[in-house]
Amino acid sequence: MYIIVAPVQIKEAFKDQYIKGMLENAQGSVNDEPGCLRFDVVQDANDENRIWLYEVYKDEAAFQAHTQTPHFIKFRT
């Protein structure tokens, strides 16, 4: 397994937009990528502008494939 746990600090003005986009990215990852086993988007209990991404992939190759998907590329641009 290949696991990523990433904190992301978001500016208040962009928080809702970021969360919406990341939830779409997460759903697309789980639904469309056989190697993506889990993708959670969690808002920090102590800081609502900090978002935690918890991603589980079959292996590093599955994660690398994830970085080439349209929903990933759209979110990163």
Q: Binning pLDDT at 50, 70 and 90, where does residue 77 land?
A: low
What's the rounded mean pLDDT across residues 27-35?
A: 94
pTM of the model: 0.88
Residue 28 lies in a domain: yes
Asked if residue 50 has pLDDT above 80, the reply is yes
Asked, for residue 77, whether it belongs to a domain, the answer is no
Structure tokens given for 44: 């920090």
Report percent pLDDT > 90 for the chain: 84
Q: Is the dihedral of CA 31, 16, 74, 52 positive or negative?
A: negative
Query: How many domains does the chain contain in total?
Result: 1
Residue 19 is assigned to a structural domain of this protein: yes
Are 66 and 36 in contact, with CB atoms under 8 Å apart?
yes
d(CA 48, CA 24): 19
Q: What is the mean pLDDT of residues 61-75?
A: 88
Residue 33 inside a domain? The answer is yes
Does residue 44 carry a pLDDT above 80? yes
Give all strands of the β-sheet with 36-43 in edge-to-edge order.
2-9, 50-57, 36-43
pLDDT at res. 10: 95
Question: Can you give the residue range of the structural domain that contains 64?
Answer: 2-72
Residue 46 domain-assigned? Answer: yes
